[in-house]
């Protein structure tokens, strides 16, 4: 499988990552990617950048070292109503908007409440991707989440980092297998995400691809292989070369 893009990564600006934006772009180019997404954590994560960072993204070139950059945020889903921790003023200024549940700033509810909140985030017209829905941070019912993702053209991420044993997420593997099986059943595309916090991990999908193989998930439903297909599905504007 040829990998053309990785759109869930972090730089020093997120507060707990270890590479600069230019180091990440250079590494992505060296790995032969066409598109790199850099999605810094939004304010609910301790140590991350101030919202003014997102307002100033216009100063950053969208091409470096021969690859395209999509600059955005990984936004926190805060509760069972799907509230987010980044205002619309900033959301409008991002190339790419990922939303996910993080234990540091999430108000837990029942499975039904958690699922409702994620479905609300999926239906938010600003949100392109749901990050690590299968990592086990909140108890979720995956079938309505998959069906909502299909309805709203929102991608569910199979997050490679959360499958790393060092992360100590024991339900991540079975949860992601369930997501893949449901997405296969309902013909819903997914996105593989490295969640790289250092340049060496860009486009590292070894654990995610193991699950893809185990479920015999169709390559045609994996949105990392074709930039045009990825952008068309999410409604992201094409650049002149596409």
pLDDT at 241 over 70: no
Q: What does pLDDT average to over the chain?
A: 97
Structural tokens at position 16:
């707990």
pLDDT band at 116 (very low <50, low <70, confident <90, very high): very high
pTM of the model: 0.98
Query: What domains lie within the chain, and their CATH numbers?
Result: 5-234 (3.20.20.140)
Helix (H) or strand (E) holding 28, with range, is helix 21-30
Structure confidence at residue 240 (pLDDT): 67
Mean pLDDT for 218-239 is 96
Tell whether the model's pLDDT for residue 172 goes beyond 80: yes
Confidence of residue 239 (pLDDT cuts 50, 70, 90): confident
pLDDT tens readout for residues 18-68: 999 999 999 999 999 999 999 999 999 999 999 999 999 999 999 999 999
pLDDT for the residue numbered 182: 99
* Alpha carbon distances (Å) from 202 to 27, 35, 205, 207: 7, 11, 9, 13
């Amino acid at each position: 499988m040829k990998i053309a893009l990785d759109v869930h990564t972090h730089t020093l600006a997120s507060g707990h990552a270890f590479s600069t934006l230019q180091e990440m772009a250079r590494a992505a180019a060296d790995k032969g990617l066409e598109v790199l997404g850099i999605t810094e954590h939004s304010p609910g994560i301790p140590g991350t950048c101030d919202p003014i960072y997102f307002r100033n993204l216009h100063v950053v070139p969208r091409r470096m070292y021969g690859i395209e950059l999509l600059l955005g945020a990984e936004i926190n889903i805060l509760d069972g109503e799907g509230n987010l921790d980044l205002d619309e003023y900033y959301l409008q200024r991002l190339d790419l908007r990922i939303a996910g549940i993080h234990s540091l700033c999430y108000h837990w509810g029942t499975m039904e409440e958690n699922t409702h909140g994620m479905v609300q985030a999926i239906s938010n017209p600003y949100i392109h991707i749901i990050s690590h829905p299968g990592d086990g941070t909140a108890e979720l019912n995956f079938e309505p989440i998959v069906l909502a993702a299909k309805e709203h053209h929102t991608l569910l991420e199979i997050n490679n980092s959360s499958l790393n044993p060092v992360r100590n997420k024991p339900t991540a593997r079975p949860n992601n297998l369930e997501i893949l099986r449901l997405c296969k059943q309902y013909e819903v595309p997914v996105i593989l995400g490295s969640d790289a916090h250092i340049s060496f991990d860009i486009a590292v999908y070894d654990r995610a691809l193991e699950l893809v193989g185990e479920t015999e998930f169709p390559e045609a439903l994996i949105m990392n292989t074709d930039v045009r297909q990825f952008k068309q599905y999410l409604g992201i504007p094409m650049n002149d070369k596409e």
